[in-house]
A and B are shown apart, each in its own frame.
Chain A
Amino acid sequence: MSLTQTAATDSPAIGTPTEHVVGRLDEIPMGEGRTYVVAGVQVAVFRLRDGSLHATQAACPHAGGPLADGQTDVDVLVCPLHLYAYRWSDGGSSGGAGPLRLFPVREQDGDLLVTA
């Protein structure tokens, strides 16, 4: 059994990326993340305490950990399984895992919009 087999479901769907409404901003508590399925891909969306939004692949590239269960600050997302820290800026990690796939995300009238 390999937990990284989930990687297939994190690949973007074939075709041009489009913007999707995935949910409401107030579904995500400050500083936390929640996972949505966007165009057949699972995407973790994070709402930081500085108000910024970030979206990444949902499973950790290292061992498939649920990234939406991780801890955040303004620079990084820390996976709950082995504490790899991924930068929001480029998806890379100082420990060498990754990079994470990042998705554009924004808020409009309380809706969360993810491009995938």
Chain B
Amino acid sequence: MRGPEFRVLGGRPEGVTSLHVDDELETRSRIVVVGNGMAGARFVEEVLDRGGDEQFCITVLGDEPHGNYNRIMLSPVLAGESHEDEIVLNSHDWYADNGVTLRAGVRAERIDTAAKQVHADDGSVTPYDHLVLATGSYSFVPPMNGVRKDDGSLLPGVYGFRTIDETRAMLEATGRCRRAVVMGGGLLGLEAARALQGHGLQVELVHAMPWLMNAQLDAEAGAILKRSVESLGITVHLDVLATEVLGTEHVEGVVLKDGRRLDCDLLVVAAGVRPHTDVAVRSGLEVERAIVVDDQLRTDDPDVYAIGECAQHRGSVYGLVAPAWEHAKVLADVLTGTDPDAEYTGSRTATKLKVAGVDVAVMGVSTPERDDDEFLVISEPKRGVHLSVVIRDDKLVGATLLGDTRKVAFLTQAFDRGAPLPEERIRLLVDLSDGAAEMGVAEMPADSQICNCNGVSKGDICGAVADGCGSVGAVMDRTRAGKGCGSCKSLVKQIVEWAADGEVTEDASASWYVPGIPLAKPELMAAIREQDLRSVSAVFAALAPAGKEDAKSKMGLTSLLKLIWGADFVPQKDGEFINDRVHANIQRDGTFSVVPQMKGGVTTPAQLRRIADVAEKYEVPMVKVTGGQRIDLLGVRKEDLPAMWSDLGMPSGYAYGKSMRTVKTCVGSDFCRFGLDDSTQLGIDLETRFQGIESPAKIKMAVVGCPRNCAEAYVKDVGVVAVGGGKWEVYVGGAAGATVRKGDLLATVSSAQEVMTLTGRFLQYYRENGNWLERTYDFVPRVGLEAIRAVLADDEACTDLDAGIQRSIDAYTDPWGQDAGEPATPGQFRTSLPLVDLPMVPVR
């Protein structure tokens, strides 16, 4: 095969290595890597990344004469879509530049584990301190008469599909061949068939199993794939073995077990791979299906390790690159001492690929295995689409997407991380509403706007990833995407994952309650209680790294401390957002809005008269009826706030806080001819009891007197619906903002008093368990309605919830009444823009 045109891929002309010091002068320990494929080379990279070149002198023995190349990309090379130079991962120069000795074209033959030496086919003997076997796999050639010549080599015209040399030979053969038979209907076989067919050959595919890609797909999906492949013009023969290869000097055809003869002048054998274990076997290492390793990738010899496709870990042998790369990371951690206790515990494999022009994504199991596994299938054979998921104990344990992989980002996440699943399982596979956001992220044009609040496009996000932002949080910090209303966060995440092609680092901070304290909410609450931390500055001093305060964490901590300590909280104004400092909602020009409390949306002529007088006296630019059934005075100067509150003589409506805001009501049974119960009074009572209660995010409630839902109770954080006979339904987790969601029915109760109790318990459970800024419409599906019901059925838990919410209710004071007379801090209401003539908002 090595003719005069032979060229070393990613190589120097002579294909040799760098200078290195004499062995006697070498003080570093020696790592020898056998195998220069994707696992071996990645391992070397991981060691170098950890500064391992100071500890170790590294030698790599590679059977192939080339630098390291991306084996996954051989199919596009065979198809003529990629040039072979494009698939080089590490050239010979890279090894030289990094002080790694690459001995390419040298095959290890035997290891003397006692003397700790590697014997190679060039007669060399290489001593090691640590030996890493990364010998990979080879194409399995099933036994067939005539496939090999007498010397054991393959009959000319017969090729495996594993290396760049085999790929080059096939490419070269396409020029003079007309008919090809591909043996094997797995991934590689299908890709080879498609590539050869693209070169104009007539291709027949022979697969021993009853359907294509049987290792990954179920029968039905395999049948749909067969139709798609046949529509390309490739003939498929299933469930049949080839028994004989015809031809003496060159392949002329194959004979199938049923006697049929297929003529060909090119035969590709892609009937699976087998781990390369011969070196390990000869060296006396334990080998079953592959080289047996423990959780630190160690073989039964303490200084010999195996990674990648040649390793068998806990009974599993992987044929994918992702586990090989995980092996490389763990072993690099262990050997360099970066994390001496690092362990590999197995991989959950998910793959997304294009096979013979058809998009395929598979992860986990393809069919249900237990009686109570949930199995959802959507099959559209005409469109060539077959989608299925397998769910076990509310977790995704398998998914198969054929012909339509738009949902792969979410499913991969759910599969890898056990993310919560939508209750309506069908949403795993199809989007039930339409709109741009539902388009697959891959298909979106680069200029489509993702974050409408901050005007961030898909291209901006991809640009940030290309510039090296390796996590969703880093991309959000750089682009500000998702930092407005937050409704686009999941889409941002999908795009980052797509753009980074799966190489996303998990934000450690994603689980923290606030970014400046490295603790999740339960641990943070425990630490605050244990160390008796009652102010924001005390929390930073005790729990932040180096005691360093963080501006963006202060608001969340203030809320949490109020929750924990109630009246015993030690307030610090700089721990509050400006809205909470001055009890009003800041507007775009630096003025504020004033919303007096109007319980249940019920007011009086006297109240309205006072509001009108105040609006005139202070020249309020706009008076507006709000969505929450109150009256908003907009465009108020900060310095006017205390005097306005005094003149109004009404309590704050909390229209500015991450707190309980308003309870909308309908006119109920007192007035409405359809009303079933007194929704107005219940709304007033709820607002009175829970007024101003701080929470992870704002809380909106409503009570309606019948299911006509005039006050929109079905789409509130807590919505109460009278159903007659004194009964009320309590819905939680509804929303009608950037997200629209009907609330989930938490319970049906028999009295208004029970509604009050249940609402208090739900609120307290949400306050204690919700993430900062997590609205109930995210919280309820995340935790699960059943889990919430279980808590509310637990008497002991309810006693604690009742006590917790009561502590906050007891701590309530009206902030307007409190700060109107005497400012809480010097200059609390001083203007911050003295030279700007406010208001600048339009006057109506």
Q: CB distance A32 to B834 under 8 Å? A: no
Complex alpha-carbon distance, A75 and B833, angstroms:
23
Q: CB distance B590 to A27 under 8 Å? A: no
Q: CB distance B833 to A32 under 8 Å? A: no
**Taking CB as reference atom, which chain B residue is nearest A44?**
B832
CB distance from A108 to the nearest CB of B (A): 19
For the complex, count residues of B whose C-beta is within 8 A of A: 38
**Taking CB as reference atom, which chain A residue is nearest B825?**
A29
Q: Which of B177-185, B405-413, B568-576, B670-678 lies at the binding interface?
A: B568-576
Q: Which residues of B contact A70 (CB under 8 A)?
A: 551, 578
Q: CB distance A65 to B835 under 8 Å? A: no
Q: CB distance B835 to A9 under 8 Å? A: yes
CB distance from A33 to the nearest CB of B (A): 8
Q: CB distance B573 to A35 under 8 Å? A: no
Q: CB distance A85 to B551 under 8 Å? A: yes
CB distance from B461 to the nearest CB of A (A): 14
The answer, yes or no, to whether A21 is at the interface (CB within 8 Å) is: no
**Taking CB as reference atom, which chain B residue is nearest A58?**
B833
Q: CB distance A3 to B548 under 8 Å? A: no
**Taking CB as reference atom, which chain A residue is nearest B582?**
A69
Complex alpha-carbon distance, A49 and B483, angstroms:
27
Scan residues 61-87 of chain A and give those whose CB is less than 8 A from a CB of chain B: 63-78, 80-83, 85
Pick the contact of A71: B574, B588, B589, B590 (CB < 8 A).
Answer: B574
Q: Which residues of B contact A109 (CB under 8 A)?
A: none
The answer, yes or no, to whether A94 is at the interface (CB within 8 Å) is: yes
The answer, yes or no, to whether A1 is at the interface (CB within 8 Å) is: yes
Interface string of B453-483 (1 = CB under 8 A from A): 0100000000000000000000001101001
Q: CB distance B835 to A6 under 8 Å? A: yes
Say yes or no: A69-B551 contact (C-beta < 8 A), given A35-B834, A42-B834, A94-B478: no
Q: Which residues of A contact B578 (CB under 8 A)?
A: 69-71, 80
Pick the contact of A28: B549, B550, B572, B826 (CB < 8 A).
Answer: B826
CB distance from B620 to the nearest CB of A (A): 18
Q: CB distance A32 to B548 under 8 Å? A: no
Pick the contact of A6: B480, B484, B516, B833 (CB < 8 A).
Answer: B833
Interface string of B551-586 (1 = CB under 8 A from A): 110110000000000000000111101100100001
**Taking CB as reference atom, which chain B residue is nearest A50?**
B549
Pick the contact of A67: B483, B831, B832 (CB < 8 A).
Answer: B832
Q: CB distance B833 to A59 under 8 Å? A: yes
CB distance from A53 to the nearest CB of B (A): 14
CB distance from B411 to the nearest CB of A (A): 32
Scan residues 31-60 of chain A and give those whose CB is less than 8 A from a CB of chain B: 31-37, 42, 44, 49, 58-59
Q: Which residues of A contact B827 (CB under 8 A)?
A: 27-29, 34
Q: CB distance B586 to A76 under 8 Å? A: no
Q: Which residues of B contact A9 (CB under 8 A)?
A: 835-836
Q: CB distance A30 to B577 under 8 Å? A: no
The answer, yes or no, to whether A95 is at the interface (CB within 8 Å) is: yes
Q: CB distance A26 to B826 under 8 Å? A: yes
Q: Which residues of B contact A3 (CB under 8 A)?
A: 588-589, 840
Q: CB distance B825 to A63 under 8 Å? A: no
Q: Which residues of B contact A95 (CB under 8 A)?
A: 477, 480
The answer, yes or no, to whether B149 is at the interface (CB within 8 Å) is: no
9 CB-based A-B contacts, threshold 8 Å? A3-B589, A6-B836, A27-B827, A31-B572, A35-B833, A59-B836, A65-B590, A66-B831, A69-B832
Given contacts A29-B573, A71-B552, 18 further A-B contacts (CB under 8 A): A1-B840, A6-B833, A29-B827, A31-B572, A32-B573, A44-B832, A49-B549, A63-B588, A66-B832, A69-B578, A69-B581, A70-B578, A71-B554, A71-B555, A72-B574, A73-B548, A77-B551, A78-B552
Residues of B within 8 A of A (CB): 454, 477-478, 480, 483-484, 516, 537, 548-552, 554-555, 572-575, 577-578, 581, 586, 588-590, 825-827, 830-836, 840, 842
Q: Which 10 A-B pairs have the closest CB atoms?
A: A31-B574, A66-B832, A68-B832, A69-B578, A66-B590, A73-B551, A29-B825, A71-B551, A73-B549, A9-B835
